A and B are shown apart, each in its own frame.
Chain A
Amino acid sequence: MSIDFDFDSITSTEFGVGLEENRQRAFFVMNTDAETKKELGRMLVDTKVSLENVSAGPALYSPAEKYSDRENLYLPVADEMVAQFVDLHTASNLPTNDEALEDKDKIFCYFARFTDGSNRQVTAIRRASQFKSIGRRRVVWVIDDTLTVVDSPLFKLDHDFDFILDANRVHILRPRGLEFIGRLQEQILAAVSRNISVLAAEASYVDWQSIADYASSHTRAARYLASVRSAGWARNVDRRALVRLCRDNGVDARVVSGRVSIDDSDVIGFLEVLDRRRYGIALVAGTPENFRATSRRQVNR
């Protein structure tokens, strides 16, 4: 699904920054001139082009997947991982703060909200690493063939945004940018008990308590949990097939009183099996080979 927006008829552009202090976040609009608005529009188009140039995709973002710097991924706007961005996208009359750039250390992202001729809106967001002032470095400017030191603070826009929200999806170019701005790691850890509840309902024959205890303090396990839950990988899984696949891949899955029990040392392996990252092939007769995939995409027949 392409971005639901007419890039050739941008009627309004709003620019702003996100500030964070004492873990409290707020978003403010800043006043910009026509030239800056045009530049932001160019950034938006470049982001769209970059997304289209990624050969594979768009694919559903998975928190457990290892991604390269640039991808073409998406999350539905209903996903709780992007709830704060959806709030930013749908917020009305964002407050203005002309002094937001004074304390650059508080800026964690910058964003632009665009409206097209059909009144559709997109919000584009970028991590603020390069945007922050480069004023500490001496910048010289050529004025009248003379090099002159620039004293006023400068802020550098990037070439494109990390991700774009439209009415239906979050279109992700840089997953790391999304994870940083969205504090996804914290969200994923905080979601462990919620995810466990869902998975326990889908696969009640597994003893999830030990997995919950482990994942609460281990990010990778929490990511796998989130991935399994969001993809629904625990639904309709045959218990016997699960145990067999675990054992084939060196994961000690013990069945005690009809329930599959996993030790801490095997939690990661078990979750990788559920998350479809452990698989075996038998190309050579009598020599089964088992693999672990850090990144995988399902191939539909």
Chain B
Amino acid sequence: MVLSSISPLFILWAIKGNAVIPECLFLIFCALMVAVPNAVLAARVWIAIRRDDRRNLTVSGYDDHRAHVIAYLFSLLLPFYRQELESWRDLTSMIVALAFIVFLFWHLHLHYINLIFAIFNFRVFTIHPPGDENPYTGRESLVLITRRSHIPEGEQLTALRLTNTLYLEN
């Protein structure tokens, strides 16, 4: 999911090109970095559908992170895109910086910043569990990818499980 969310960067890089790696190899690399994560994500969705891997979730409240897409553009896409790759040192520092960003995205569960989902009119919400006194109710917030624009409080919905914290309502 995280690699899928940075796939637009590789599209931009493929268009921009570089001065270090042979063009053909670089294009193949960018194509793989776009295709493979998104294929894996699509496969994950397909497997979840096939296995009927669904859960009932109760939504007490939610946060809409659409505004974070702007932060994603300015903190990730633009700086990395503008970086010129004129030497191996530039390339190495770029890869290491990108690795840090990917790790941070993964660690902070920021994988909801995904332009692919946005293109298909999915919104990504962080849903919060009910704050009831039931000792067994889960306390962790979850990420829900949905086409809804609004989720009423207390709504019970069924969603596909992509990971233990990421769900898709299709």
Contact A115 B56 (CB under 8 A): yes
Number of interface residues of B (CB under 8 A): 24
Contact B53 A12 (CB under 8 A): no
Q: Which residues of A lie under 8 Å from residue B58 when comparing CB positions? A: 92-93
Q: Which residues of A lie under 8 Å from residue B149 when comparing CB positions? A: none
Given known A90-B134, A94-B138, contact A33–B55 (CB-CB < 8 A): no
Q: Which residues of B lie under 8 Å from residue A98 when comparing CB positions? A: 164
Residues 9-24 of chain B, each 1 if its beta carbon lies under 8 Å from chain A, else 0:
0000000000000000
Given known A92-B138, A93-B137, contact A12–B57 (CB-CB < 8 A): no
Binding stretch for chain B, among A23-31, A146-154, A284-292? A23-31
Given known A92-B129, A119-B156, contact A31–B53 (CB-CB < 8 A): yes
Contact A92 B130 (CB under 8 A): yes
Cβ of B50 within 8 Å of any chain A Cβ, yes or no, is yes
Residues 115-144 of chain B, each 1 if its beta carbon lies under 8 Å from chain A, else 0:
000000000000001101011111110100
**Minimum C-beta distance from A102 to chain B (A):** 16
Given known A34-B51, A93-B58, contact A87–B158 (CB-CB < 8 A): no
Q: How far is the CA of A94 from the CA of B130 in the complex (A)?
A: 11
Number of interface residues of A (CB under 8 A): 24
Contact A26 B56 (CB under 8 A): no
Chain A residue at minimal CB-CB distance from B49: A34
Which residues 16-45 of A sit at the B interface, judged by CB distance below 8 A? Answer: 26-27, 29, 31-34, 37
Cβ of B161 within 8 Å of any chain A Cβ, yes or no, is yes
**Minimum C-beta distance from B131 to chain A (A):** 10
Contact A87 B134 (CB under 8 A): yes
Contact A12 B164 (CB under 8 A): no
Chain A positions near chain B (C-beta within 8 angstroms): 11-12, 14, 26-27, 29, 31-34, 37, 87-88, 90-96, 98, 113, 115, 119
Chain B positions near chain A (C-beta within 8 angstroms): 50-58, 129-130, 132, 134-140, 142, 156, 158, 161, 164
